[in-house]
Amino acid sequence: MTMNTLEKLGAFNVWANTTVLNRLDEIAATGQELPPVVLRLFSHVLNAQAIWISRITGTTSPVKVWQEHDLAGCQALHERTSEPLHQLMVNADETELQRLISYTNSLGDSYESLVHDILTHAVVHASYHRAQVATRLRDHGFEPVNSDFITYCRELSAAAQKAVPSL
């Protein structure tokens, strides 16, 4: 069986965003204020997903690249973007992955990129900024969560082992 790495990265991205949001929810539930920089960075992760989805699908983005959201807004945008981004990875055939997208970035510069490269970038970009979220949480005295890819893989393996009955 061949593993589709892009699909696995997409599933990881959903898991990682959910994991970070759950931690932010935990902090907020204690009555402590989330550092604004944390919400700004995580908003950017989700905004970027929305923007890339709109570029791939030829639709208008509902958000701007550095638009800020409160925690509820982040939850809503996560629901609207993380799994849909993953589904683009699941459903893309080789023709779609090799399709060239023309777009203009937030600075007004024009580019062309392959759908495969855009989808890969979206996950790498999100990982980069989730690491910044973790750093900023720690800077403000909060323990961050581990949202590393290998942690996701370990959780998958542990879940699979529990699902297999012992002989």
Average pLDDT, the chain: 95
**Using 50, 70 and 90 to split pLDDT, how confident is the model at 38?**
very high
Decide if 95 is inside a domain: yes
Q: Against a cut of 0.95, is the pTM above it?
A: no
User: Which CATH number goes with the domain that contains 100?
Assistant: 1.20.120.450
Print the domain residue range for 121.
Answer: 5-159
The whole-angstrom distance between residue 165's C-alpha and the CA centroid of its chain comes to: 33
Check whether 165 has a pLDDT greater than 80: no
Decide if 150 is inside a domain: yes
**Using 50, 70 and 90 to split pLDDT, how confident is the model at 160?**
confident
Decide if 11 is inside a domain: yes
Please tell me the distance from the alpha carbon of residue 97 to that of residue 113, in angstroms, as a whole number.
10
The amino acid that residue 76 corresponds to is A
Decide if 164 is inside a domain: no
Task: Please tell me the least confidently modeled range out of 22-31, 73-82, 107-116, 158-167.
Answer: 158-167
What average pLDDT does this structure show over 46-59?
98
Domain count within the chain: 1
The annotation status of 78 as a binding-site residue, yes or no, is: no
The annotation status of 125 as a binding-site residue, yes or no, is: yes
Decide if 64 is inside a domain: yes
**Using 50, 70 and 90 to split pLDDT, how confident is the model at 167?**
low
Please tell me the distance from the alpha carbon of residue 120 to that of residue 114, in angstroms, as a whole number.
10
Decide if 22 is inside a domain: yes
Decide if 166 is inside a domain: no
Decide if 143 is inside a domain: yes
Please tell me the distance from the alpha carbon of residue 99 to that of residue 24, in angstroms, as a whole number.
37
